[in-house]
Amino acid sequence: MTSRRDFIRITAMGAGVLVAGTAAYKVIKSLSSPEEVKKLVVDLKRTPTYCEVCFWKCAGWVYKTSEGKIWKIIGNDEDPNCNGRFCPRGTGGVGMYYDESRLKTPLIRVEERGKQVFREASWDEALELVSVKMKEVSAKYGPESMALFTHGSGSAYLSTLLKAFGSANIAEPSYAQCRGPRDEAFTATFGEEVYSPEITDIRDTKCLVLIGSHIGENMHNGQVQEMSDAIDKGATIITVDPRFSTAAAKSKFWLPIKPSTDMALLLSWIHEIIYNDFYDKKYVEKYCSGFDKLKEHVKDFTPEWAYGITTINPELIRKAAKEMADASPAVIVHPGRHVTWYGDDTQRIRAVAILNALLGSWGRRGGFYRPAKFELASYPIPAFKAPAKTWLDAFPGKYPIASLPVSNALIDASIPENKPEYQIKGWIVNGTNLISTIPNTANTLKAIQNLDLIVAIDTMPMEITGWADVVLPECTYLERYDALRAGPHRKPSLALRMPATEPLNDTRSDYWIARELSKKLGLVSYFPFEKQEDLLDWQLKKAGTSLDEMQKIGVKIFEREADDLYFAENEDVEFFTDSGKIELYSAYFEGAGFDPLPRYVAHDEPADGYYRLIYGRAPMHTFSRTANNPNLTDLMDENSVWINPKVAKEWGLKTDQYIWLKNQDNVMSDFQVKVRVTERIRWDSVYIVHGFGHAQKQMQRCFGRGVSDTQMITKVLVDPLMGGTGMRSNFVTFVTEKTEQEVVS
Amino acid sequence: MEEELIVSGRMNQMIDPHLHIWHWQISLYLFLGGMAAGILAIAALYFIRGRENDYKTAVRITPFIAPFLLVIGLLALFIDLRHKLFFWQLYTNIKLQSPMSWGAWTLMVITPVSFVWCALHIKDIFPNWDWKYKWLYDLEAFFNKYKKALAWVMLIYAIILGIYTGILLSAFNARPLWNTSILGPLFLASGLSAGAAATLVLSKDSKERKQFARIDLVLIGIELFLIIHMFMGFLASTQVQIEAAQLFLGGQYTMSFWIFVVILGMLIPALLEIMELGKFHIPVVIPAVLVIFGSLMLRFIIVYAGQVSRWLY
Amino acid sequence: MRYAMAVDTRKCVGCSDCVVACQTENNVPIGFCRDWIVEVTNGTYPQLEMELRSERCNQCVNAPCVRCCPTGASHIVDGGIVLVTHNECIGCGACMASCPYDARYPHPDGYVDKCTFCIHRIKNGLSPACVAVCPTKCLYFGDLHDPNSEVSVVLKKRKSKTLIPEAGTDPQLYFLI
């Protein structure tokens, strides 16, 4: 304390008589002054959960204050997905619960679709309406005319319901709008996909190659953590991106590629690695087939050839190839996640897969490990009747190698003009905002207008809920049980989600919704447990634990059955391909009428005054679903359009100025977007973060903030192999003045 | 191109995008405090020098404004506090290194002193004033007896108050524009000048008016010298201070500073006063009001511009 | 004891998790924050470099906020942490004006608030919320007087800098470069 010394000094200076009294007071006060340290208010009854803000599903703990309010969510130390550390979205998950814009009661549409005039309804009335309509659709068009679009944990129960109802048209946009091409390409090559969380052994890699993948900005928690560990251990990062991404900033080599030319770069890398004998000869000989054909195929694809296409200095291409070879087999040419870019995406990822095979990284430490997954027992329920028709029958012969239903194909099958073999007439949409998710919004809206029934199940009033006939408010993941998480990882694991608190308002869990609906549809035999806890407990007991134990530990790790995380020396490996080998040359693709080896095809380039629209992720948001989360909008409440200073100068644009974007099809953005003049983007492209520009007024925080990339994506390059929607072929220009502003939906 | 930005969306109220925690309250308070200090210092000085009868207005009349200025200033200061109920914490501490603490204590002394000073001269304004109670008469007699000591206390504290209004700002090295020791003397000179201007308005004695016009002229000269000196200091200093000076030399506060503070608040009144002294007849109110206005603008502009000047980003 | 934090700018991806974790841990009201992320880009495309920094109060040794505080609400406790006693703070704003890092903000309840290095956690043997949550493990915390503390070790091993040391505040938030 300084007051005593001050007192003496002050008195000495004769500054005031008043001091004596107050100084004495201060001494007394300091004796009784409370320590700054608050006592930690820990509710000992913390409850386990796994996160639902993104699909990484990190397990954690929900802490409440002593008054019972949700306080914070912290990662579970045992969880391999997060290692006790949640990402910003997971930490900000509390905002999902507290968001005052949440859907509160079931709603039934009273005026025409899209006008957003609803009346509140009871659950019984809403579900009754849904079941009656479903039965009508089924009676008129067959049960397969119902489709389910879903993303997230709710899919487990709603899928069961739909299958029981007689339809297999269950699509997750994560397939055709995101990772489908990757999974098909890796399956075609290695006989196995790369799963989620990806089986990339980044932790131990010596060289990580990221092609248009911006780890760190896409906050796939475990991957970000492992990339950071790898940086610590001195691993090299090579980034291929027209944008100076966060990962690029941490890279030894950044290849500022001309957009849409990645295939040329990949082919030249394959060329370099083969013709310099950089490849893992023993590995290729033992495990791969079609090497000679590949070698012949890439003969002319030199770095100089690629330079003319990609604008990347051939020396840089060579150095990067050498770097990968030096690290081999502890090298990962990352398969990426959102890879639907130019319509030839499956082939491009095939090139990635081939590159990994040549470097011998599949099945090797620092490359790709063998995943292990806990196989949960399923409670015996009646067998599903095989549906009369599947989504494939709507457009026979289309997307021959697609292994999962293609969301956009289901949407196309809902539009009579497309002349599908049979028409989809009813949608249940759960946890996916199709308006922001599926490119070409006009097409989606046209499909909606042709439906007999559209039901939206969501926590938030998204754009899609505005178009629904019936809106069913689900509670957030913090207020419900859900299916056990048993995703693949280095070791098998289980994670439990349980409610931390009672659901707010009149919201319900997906299990409850699915089961109540099953009652009304006469399908309750598929949901034998009235309470979800009982189902979980039954499953957990089969797994050698119990609901009781899991409620205390949250995550349970099991040992691998065998010590086979990586291939053993000289291990004979049977790959799940037709040939049992890693297929460098894909006879499967050839048989389906596609190139057996990847080939470079030039793509459209922007016209004068137009710039390629590149979109991506911000670490604090998950697609458009977090756009209204109070904690996360606090970090980022709108997106900005990144413009190279040269371009900005040409247009006279300044940072923080608001402009509209207009695309090649003259579609003008609903809202204005802030300009960010930055060197971090190439001069032929602009960049925006996906998930903004919401036109749904009921989302008070994010309505009209920023611009929606999906709205600007009207040209879609569909992958003929599996139906993926290539979305990077749209070009935008800048509009500084707009005469009248029109807001859709 | 260098780009530096906060990417986590920070928008702390009153901090982002630049500091704006202090508004009119602080500016007004600094002005009122400075003017009161000027008035009281001049009154005390002339009293001590025994010139009470030559400059009656300055010693006896003008000080009547001071308590009002101080009370309004304190009120503005109180309005500015965001945790008002705890204002009394100012008086449970003496913090030697905190100018604000100095200020609080100084005000604690000078405000009652200014009231006493007015009480001693109340009969100059209300000749029939009656204190009603004997103990008040006793008190008046007591202070009259020690009036000289009182004047010394008033002089010292008035000068402390006048300088402190500048030191308050210059103690913040985080705001390069404020971080100059010139601000103390500059604000003192400006306060004295405003105080002299007040007498200029109130005085009916042409001799006294002339004297105060002369004082004002000298003070304006000093102020101009200090301002030039301040800019010389800034421009010869580090990058942040050069940038701070740029706010007035081409930056966003250039117009307001040079027009309101220097031209309207100093040069024109100086010119008018020179003309007045040179026998031109000019309504004395005009230069006086301009000086007071300039003094007010100086506080406003320095307070606002200082919050824009910074080290980071 | 001298608490300090080091931020590895090579690992930080600017995800802002430290910001949300701090907000939830310390009930920082929406619209305010005690820590934040700064991104600095230099160069011309494609010759670029970028630095990401998680910033917060520098817990200065020579803290101007403590010096300027008229009531003593701002004070330094054992370990060098700068704290604000809420019921001694009058909300005058002097500390905010004196901070070259703009690390303090006026809490809507009136008092001035800032990073405390999560003193309630460290006194209980935990690391600050931002350090505990950081997915890249780019934040290191500990006692500089203990040569074996995480922060001492990493500062010995790596080159580091502080922000605006020329402001003379002797900041204790180090950035590994």
pLDDT in tens, A483-500: 999 989 999 999 999 999
* Closest alpha carbon within chain C to B92: C71
pLDDT band at A741; cut points 50, 70, 90: low
Q: Which candidate from B8, B91, B92 shows the least CB-CB separation from A635?
A: B8
Residue A75 contacts residue A85 (beta carbons within 8 Å): yes
What secondary structure letter does DSSP report for B61? I
pLDDT band at B310; cut points 50, 70, 90: confident
Q: For residue C25, which residues of chain A lie inside 8 Å, CB to CB?
A: 72
Return d(Cα A631, Cα A97) in angstroms, integer.
11
Q: Is the pLDDT of residue A17 over 90?
A: no
Task: Decide: helix, strand or coil at residue C121.
Answer: helix
Return d(Cα A442, Cα A315) in angstroms, integer.
45
Residue B75 contacts residue B29 (beta carbons within 8 Å): no
pLDDT number for residue B37: 96
pLDDT number for residue A489: 95
* Closest alpha carbon within chain B to C53: B6
**Cβ separation of C48 and A680 shorter than 8 Å?**
yes
Mean pLDDT check: name the lowest of A124-133, A678-687, A732-741, B29-38. A732-741
**Does the CB of B10 have a partner CB in chain C at under 8 Å?**
yes
User: What pairs with residue A583 in β-bridges?
Assistant: A289
Distances (CA, A) of A601 to A262, A352, B215, C28: 10, 16, 86, 53
Q: Which candidate from C30, C43, C83 shows the least CB-CB separation from A634?
A: C30
For chain A, give the number of residues: 745
Task: Decide: helix, strand or coil at residue B188.
Answer: helix
From C148's Cα to the closest Cα of chain B, the distance in A is 32
pLDDT number for residue B206: 86
Those of residues 109-148 in B touching chain A at CB distance below 8 A are 109
Q: Which two tokens stand for residue A601?
A: 């095809």
**Cβ separation of A36 and C19 shorter than 8 Å?**
no
How confident is the model over B262-279, as a mean pLDDT? 90
How confident is the model over A541-555, as a mean pLDDT? 95
**Cβ separation of B174 and C37 shorter than 8 Å?**
no
Task: Please confirm whether the linkage preceding A197 is cis (ω < 30° from 0).
Answer: yes
Those of residues 56-75 in B touching chain C at CB distance below 8 A are none
Give A603-637 pLDDT, tens digit per residue.
999 999 999 999 999 999 998 899 999 999 999 99
Residue entry with tokens 């404004």: B65
**Does the CB of A9 have a partner CB in chain B at under 8 Å?**
yes
pLDDT band at B285; cut points 50, 70, 90: confident
* Closest alpha carbon within chain A to B90: A22
Q: How many CB atoms lie within 10 A of CB B250?
A: 9
**Does the CB of C26 have a partner CB in chain A at under 8 Å?**
no
* Closest alpha carbon within chain C to A90: C17
pLDDT number for residue B132: 87
Q: Is the pLDDT of residue A26 over 60?
A: no
Dihedral angle, C-alpha C32, C37, C40, C45, nearest 10 °: -110
Q: Which of A745, A742, A718, A741 is nearest to A729 (CA)?
A: A718
DSSP string of B207-225?
Answer: HHHHHHHHHHHHHHHHHHH
From C135's Cα to the closest Cα of chain A, the distance in A is 5
CB pairs under 8 A between A and C: 141
Q: Is the pLDDT of residue A42 over 70?
A: no
pLDDT number for residue A737: 87
pLDDT number for residue B313: 57
Q: Which candidate from B13, B95, B311 shows the least CB-CB separation from C70?
A: B95
Q: Which two tokens stand for residue B1?
A: 């191109």
Average pLDDT, whole number, for chain A?
91
Distances (CA, A) of A282 to A126, A172, A581: 63, 40, 14
Average pLDDT, whole number, for chain C?
95
pLDDT number for residue A25: 42
**Does the CB of B94 have a partner CB in chain A at under 8 Å?**
yes
How confident is the model over C50-78, as a mean pLDDT? 95
Give A429-463 pLDDT, tens digit per residue.
999 999 989 998 999 999 999 999 999 999 999 99
Mean pLDDT check: name the lowest of B279-293, C76-90, C92-106, C124-138. B279-293
Residue entry with tokens 């030894």: A252
Q: Is the pLDDT of residue A136 over 70?
A: yes
Q: Is the pLDDT of residue C110 over 70?
A: yes
Mutation target to probe the B interface, by most B beta carbons within 10 A, among A5, A10, A11, A22 is A22
**Does the CB of A87 have a partner CB in chain C at under 8 Å?**
yes
Residue A140 contacts residue A425 (beta carbons within 8 Å): yes
pTM for this prediction? 0.92
Q: Which candidate from B82, B104, B313 shows the least CB-CB separation from C106?
A: B82
Calculate the CA B224 to chain-centre distance: 16
SS (H, E, C) A632-655: HHCCCCCCEEEECHHHHHHHCCCC
CB pairs under 8 A between B and C: 168
pLDDT number for residue A35: 40
Q: Which two tokens stand for residue A660?
A: 């509209």
Which percentage of chain B shows pLDDT scores above 90?
74
**Cβ separation of C20 and A75 shorter than 8 Å?**
no
pLDDT number for residue B131: 86
Q: Is the pLDDT of residue A277 over 60?
A: yes
pLDDT number for residue A15: 35
pLDDT number for residue A119: 96
Bridge-based pairing of strands C3-8 and C139-143 is antiparallel
Residue entry with tokens 């500390």: C95
Phi, psi torsion values for A28, nearest 5 degrees:
-60, -45
Q: Which candidate from C16, C43, C72 shows the least CB-CB separation from B8?
A: C16
From A486's Cα to the closest Cα of chain B, the distance in A is 33
Question: Which residues touch A173 (CB under 8 Å, ≥6 apart)?
Answer: A149, A151, A407, A432, A434, A437, A438
How confident is the model over A716-729, as a mean pLDDT? 95
pLDDT number for residue B281: 80
Amino acid at A301: F
Q: For residue B238, which residues of chain C lie inside 8 Å, CB to CB?
A: 166
Helix (H) or strand (E) holding A189: helix A180-190
Give A322-332 pLDDT, tens digit per residue.
999 999 999 99
* Closest alpha carbon within chain A to C37: A635
pLDDT number for residue A66: 83
**Does the CB of B4 have a partner CB in chain A at under 8 Å?**
no
pLDDT number for residue B123: 87
pLDDT number for residue B284: 82
Q: Is the pLDDT of residue B133 over 80?
A: yes
**Cβ separation of C93 and B10 shorter than 8 Å?**
no
Q: Which two tokens stand for residue B194?
A: 């405003």
**Does the CB of A628 have a partner CB in chain C at under 8 Å?**
no
**Cβ separation of A36 and C119 shorter than 8 Å?**
yes
pLDDT number for residue A227: 96
Mutation target to probe the A interface, by most A beta carbons within 10 A, among C9, C11, C15 is C15
Which percentage of chain B shows pLDDT scores above 70?
99
**Does the CB of A23 have a partner CB in chain C at under 8 Å?**
no
- Higher pLDDT pick, A209 / B130: A209
Chains contacting A with at least 3 CB pairs below 8 Å? B, C
* Closest alpha carbon within chain C to B21: C93
**Does the CB of C73 have a partner CB in chain A at under 8 Å?**
no
pLDDT number for residue A739: 66
Q: For residue C24, which residues of chain A lie inside 8 Å, CB to CB?
A: 71-73, 91-92, 94, 631
Return d(Cα A579, Cα A287) in angstroms, integer.
10
Q: Is the pLDDT of residue A745 over 60?
A: no
**Does the CB of A634 have a partner CB in chain C at under 8 Å?**
yes
For chain C, give the number of residues: 177
- Tell me which long-range contacts B140-143 makes (C-beta under 8 A, separation of at least 24): B143/B116, B143/B119
Q: Which of B50, B163, B5, B306 is nearest to A677 (CA)?
A: B5
Return d(Cα A597, Cα A291) in angstroms, integer.
11
Q: Which candidate from B5, B14, B93 shows the least CB-CB separation from C71?
A: B93
Mutation target to probe the A interface, by most A beta carbons within 10 A, among C11, C40, C45 is C45
